[in-house]
Structure formats: structure tokens, C-alpha cells
Amino acid sequence: MPLQRIIILQGLESGAGHELSNEMIQRLLKTHGHRVSIADVNEQIAWLENRGYVKAARLGDSGFINVRIARAGIDVAQGNTRAEGIEPPRRIGMGQKSSTRKK
């Protein structure tokens, strides 16, 4: 879970507009070897939101959540601040694949 949280924050921090949908976050995690349900993604979003790292907008009963990184989340994603429950960031160079896989 701590590794998934930093992946989410770094994905939001590097994304256009600093925002992604919950479905895009699910795909992002999958590219890093984390096969998770949308319910698990939503749980991580809620955890990050409750601690002020992201802001989430839920669109009615559709299940769609738009997530935008908050200033505190950017600081964690960039390694400027450490946060309990979130893995410290590991920057991956261009053309390299992450060696971190869900076990």
C-alpha cells in the first residue's frame, strides 16, 4: 500500500493538469505491476484525501472520481517531505522500467 500511494502521487504530479481519474490511476498502478480493483483504488484515493495529499471530486453515482494532487502531495511526490504510510519516492530515469513489483 505505501508503494501504491507514492506511485499514485507521482503519477498525479507528473500528469497533465496534475489530475487523473480513478480508472486512469488503476491503469497506472497496473503498469507498475499492481493489479488492483477499482474499489481498492478508491480506497487509496480516500486515504490520500483524508490526509490532504489529494482532492477528489466524485461524479454522482457513476463511480467516477477525478483526483487532483494537492500541494502537500506534490511535496511528498518530489521527496521534499516524508509522510507516514507512503513509500519515499524513487525516481526512474527515461527509458528505464521500475523494478518494484507487488509481491
CATH of the domain at 47: 1.10.10.10
Q: Which residues neighbour 24 within 8 Å (Cβ) at sequence distance 6 or greater?
A: none
Question: How many percent of the chain have pLDDT more than 90?
Answer: 77
45 belongs to a structural domain: yes
Task: Answer for the pair 13, 71: CB distance below 8 angstroms, yes or no.
Answer: no
Within a domain: residue 85?
no
pLDDT at 24 over 90: yes
Q: Where in the sequence is the domain holding 30, given as residue range(s)?
A: 2-77
Total domain count, the chain: 1
Confidence of residue 91 (pLDDT cuts 50, 70, 90): low
Q: Report the alpha-carbon distance of residue 3 to residue 28 in Å, rounded.
A: 13
The yes-or-no verdict on residue 6 having pLDDT over 70 is yes
Assigned C-alpha cell, 96 = 528505464
With CA atoms as reference, report the closest residue to 67 among 17, 21, 13. Answer: 21
Entry pTM: 0.85
Cα separation, 77 vs 87, in Å, equals: 10
Would 96 be classed as within a structural domain? no
